[in-house]
Amino acid sequence: MEPFKNKVVYQIYPKSFLDTNGDGIGDLQGVIRKLDYLEELGVDYIWLTPFFPSPQRDNGYDVANYRGVDPSYGTMKDFEELVAEAGKRNIRVMLDMVFNHTSTQHTWFQRALAGEEAYQDYYIFRTPRPDGGPPTNWCSKFGGSAWEYVPQLGRYYLHLFDKTQADLNWENPAVRRELAEIVRFWMSKGVKGFRFDVVNLISKGEYLDDPQGDGRQFYTDGPRVHEFLKELNRQSFGRDKEIITVGEMSSTSMEHCFSYAGEGQEELSMVFSFHHLKVDFAGNNKWVLIPPDFERLKNILFSWQEGMASHGAWNAVFWCNHDQPRVVSRFGDEGVYWKQSAKMLATVIHGLRGTPYIYQGEELGMTNAHFTRLDQYRDVESINHFALLRDRGMSEEGASSILRAHSRDNSRTPMQWDEGENGGFTQGKPWLSVNPNTAVINAASQTKDPDSVFFHYQALIRLRKQWDVFALGDFTPIDPAHPAVLAYKRAWQGEEMLCVNNFFRRPCLWNCPRSLEGFQVLLSNYPDSHPTQEWKLRPYESVLLHRG
Ligand code: TEU
Ligand code: CA
């Protein structure tokens, strides 16, 4: 079995995990202190989002030095201690490589600005249009033009994200050599996994105006992206077969993912795709809210399951990360059925074919932030888009309600360790406020309660280790057109697993089209689930059945 199929990855956003020195910012020592908690949960890898030196315009996704630790998170010694301590608990460390762009504070960019041509060729500088305007009409994903003018050079540089995040020029072999060397540097420190940030955007095609869109058609899954990934694989992580890799694929297509994450393609182990998380906004615009479309959600999940399997390609499966709202607030219920719905959503993901990712706090059923004032937000994307919505004439209340649903800060509020002030996250003033519901949703109480969301996640992880069907089984939808039930079957060498979920608050009657003979309940979110052919599913009821 490939090293990644029966594993579970836990994502840590260090800034919001645990602060040990009272400055209000989580740190690497905080991660070390909670390794026992992660061992109890049972995860195999921890993915740490960037802790490298950075001006923190985009919370570390603006890297100023790829080989260091930002002093607000600690030191390189702390990092080495973390790898060693995690290793003792059989937990491996995965790092986040932000290789599409660097911070404009990076020495490469600073030398480019100072006039060194060799470093100007590390980035994408272009001359203005005859009228002095930007080279193309592309938009930054954080709002505004994707081009920033540098008066002293008389040219614009490309930034698909914030203007302090300049896109690297992967066409330049010197850039590719530098990046491979950075991966090797971290491999030499014992790192066993890499997540590559927006890595399907690294190969830009032509620099042309986009008449219908924001420019993404020219740089998404670009012309040389597979070649670049194969090269990076050969020059770095591909040399250690234990290493697992995951690419974050922005607006990708499944066809490209067959190659990014296909067996024998020598690109990456697996991919994150996001189509299933766009079912509550209009088109590609996350700033236009619509109610979640369950049918679309199910179609997307199922077609990626079947499509990737039929091409021997592997998915990362997930609901949550540091860019997404909390799933229980989004597709579940924050009220009476909070616990049932959090467990149901967990089961849906962990039963799928792919490697499950848990984002910190998801295992506690943490909810959205429910901020009421703009000054509570810290995220550059939220702040920029709020201003843009207001400029377009939207009311303050309208724009606030969109942020309340879709802001990235929903998932970035500090971990809720206990019921105390600031949820046990810090002795100081947290960089982003703690959700007051830490009084009821917290790790201290859940690790004492066998019926908690935490122990449900623990059980799901254990089942993946116990039964090969979770890692290796085929995937077949069951009754895919049903308006309320999400059900599927996995099968592997005579072993079978059924995953049956009522996705809604309303009870529903379901005629199970498969015989349930010989199946036993492995896990459920009600103490007394009794599967029958004519099944009355209770609110958010979720059952895993097994035979063989
Ligand atoms: O995110 C990529 C990305 O395109 C989106 O998730 C984006 O953050 C936004 O939600 C679009 O509406 C990755 C990182 O995960 C994110 O935190 C960084 O801000 C971004 O890349 C830039 O490095
Ligand atoms: Ca700190």
Question: What positions carry a catalytic annotation?
Answer: 197, 248
Residue 130 resides in a domain: yes
CATH code of the domain in which 490 resides: 2.60.40.1180
Dihedral in degrees, nearest 10, Cα atoms 389, 395, 398, 400: 70
- Mark which of 166, 192, 215 sits at the end of a domain: 166
- Mark which of 360, 390, 406 sits at the end of a domain: 406
Which ligand is in closest contact with the Cα of 382?
Answer: 1
CB neighbours of residue 450 within 10 Å: 11
Residue 290 resides in a domain: no
What residue type is assigned to position 297 of the chain?
A: L
Residue 331 resides in a domain: no
Count up the domains in the chain and report the number. Answer: 3
Distance 69 CA to ligand 2 centre (A): 13
* CA angle in degrees (0–180, nearest 5) for 253-254-256: 70
> Which residue do the tokens 């800060």 mark?
409
Per the model's pLDDT, the better-predicted residue between 1 and 408 turns out to be: 408
Q: In the structure, what pLDDT confidence band is assigned to residue 287 with cuts at 50, 70 and 90?
A: very high
Asked if residue 284 has pLDDT above 90, the reply is no
Residue 359 resides in a domain: no
Half-sphere exposure of 543 (CA within 13 A, CB side): 23
Asked if residue 3 has pLDDT above 90, the reply is no
Please tell me if the CB atom of residue 61 comes closer than 6 angstroms to any atom of ligand 1: yes
Give the whole-angstrom CA distance, residue 180 versus residue 280: 38
Q: In the structure, what pLDDT confidence band is assigned to residue 490 with cuts at 50, 70 and 90?
A: very high
- Asked if 10 and 358 count as a contact pair (C-beta separation under 8 A), the reply is yes
Distance 349 CA to ligand 1 centre (A): 22
Please tell me if the CB atom of residue 73 comes closer than 6 angstroms to any atom of ligand 1: no
21-61, pLDDT tens digit by residue? 999 999 999 999 999 999 999 999 999 999 999 999 999 99
Instruction: Show Cβ contacts of residue 191 under 8 Å, excluding neighbours closer than 6 positions.
Output: 83, 93, 94, 95
Nearest CA to ligand 1 atom 9: 323
- Atom from ligand 1 closest to the CA of residue 61: 23
CATH code of the domain in which 154 resides: 3.90.400.10
Q: Which domain holds residue 389?
A: 378-406
**DSSP SS3 for 282:** strand
Please tell me if the CB atom of residue 78 comes closer than 6 angstroms to any atom of ligand 1: no
Residue 271 pLDDT: 98
Residue 430 resides in a domain: no
Classify residue 513 as exposed, middle or buried by CB count within 10 Å of its CB (0-12, 13-18, 19+).
exposed
Residue 38 resides in a domain: no
421-470, pLDDT tens digit by residue? 999 999 999 999 999 999 999 999 999 999 999 999 999 999 999 999 99
Residue 15 pLDDT: 98
Asked if residue 11 has pLDDT above 90, the reply is yes
Distance 75 CA to ligand 2 centre (A): 12
Strand partners, 179: none
Instruction: Show Cβ contacts of residue 13 under 8 Å, excluding neighbours closer than 6 positions.
Output: 26, 49, 322, 359, 360, 411, 412
- Asked if 492 and 507 count as a contact pair (C-beta separation under 8 A), the reply is no
Q: What is the mean pLDDT of residues 274-283?
A: 95
208: alpha, beta or left? (left if phi > 0; alpha if psi -120 to 50): beta
Mean pLDDT, rounded, of the chain? 97
Distance 287 CA to ligand 1 centre (A): 15
Please tell me if the CB atom of residue 162 comes closer than 6 angstroms to any atom of ligand 1: no
Q: Give the pairing of strands 316-317 and 193-196.
A: unpaired
241-262, pLDDT tens digit by residue? 999 999 999 999 999 999 999 9
- Mark which of 357, 391, 406 sits at the end of a domain: 406
128-187, pLDDT tens digit by residue? 999 999 999 999 999 999 999 999 999 999 999 999 999 999 999 999 999 999 999 999
Please tell me if the CB atom of residue 260 comes closer than 6 angstroms to any atom of ligand 1: no
Helices within 91-240 (DSSP H only): 107-113, 117-120, 173-187, 216-219, 225-235
Residue 262 resides in a domain: no
Residue 477 resides in a domain: yes
